[in-house]
Structure formats: C-alpha cells, structure tokens
Amino acid sequence: MAGIYGLARSRFLLFDGLGILLWIGTFELLGYLFSDQLEDVVAYASRFGGLLTVLFVGGLAAYVWLEVRAATQIPPLAARSAHHPGAVEGGVGLRHGPLDR
C-alpha cells in the first residue's frame, strides 16, 4: 500500500518501526501484568484442550464446507437471466412457475 500511494521509503520505515515498537511494548506489558496467572491459563488449557480442539476443527470444517458450497452454487439471477428462455433485459419478467404466468 505504501508504494501505491508513493510514500517515501524513509517515512515508511519510520512508521513501520514505530508500529513494531508499539506492538512489542503492548504484548510485553500484557505478559508482565499477567505473568502470575500463566500457570492458571496452562491448567485451564490442559483441562479443556480436547474440547477446544474439537471446536476448532469443527469450525474449520464448517468454514471449508461453506466455502466449497458457495463456490459451486448456481450463479446469481442477473448472471444467468440472459440464458433463460423467459428472460427480459436486466432479469425482469422471468417466469418462475405456473402461478406466475
């Protein structure tokens, strides 16, 4: 994006470096503040690890299934209206069944 907008390399590196310092500082501070609870987090993760794994794998499978389903669906009405025998310019006037005549 920086190259598209013609941002100078030095200015990009300045903002990139500031962003890196901000992210590192934020996570270092969070790690310092919550370091006492690290053992609790590990205990919870080990207790619910199987459930979290099942939820993650199930969510991933649902996502892949929805993506495959969307990729193999029939195109929208506007894209196929030109090939439909009852189609009018722009997809208006299509017959859908005996009650729509």
Structural domain boundaries in the chain? 1-33, 38-74
Q: Is the pLDDT of residue 97 over 60?
A: no
Note the helical H segments in the chain: 9-33, 38-71, 77-80
**How many CA atoms lie within 13 Å of 1's alpha carbon, on the beta-carbon side?**
1
Confidence band, pLDDT 50/70/90 cuts, at residue 64: very high
Q: Which residues contact 45 (CB under 8 A, 6 or more apart)?
A: 52
The pLDDT value recorded for residue 73 is 78
Convert the pLDDT of each residue in 1-41 to its tens digit: 788 888 899 999 999 999 999 999 999 999 999 888 888 88
Residue 19: what pLDDT? 96
- Please state the pTM of the whole predicted model: 0.39
Measure Cα distances from 81 to 8, 16, 22, 84, 90 in Å: 49, 49, 53, 5, 7
- Can you tell me whether residue 100 is helix, strand or coil? helix
Report pLDDT digits (tens) over 78-94.
555 555 555 555 545 55
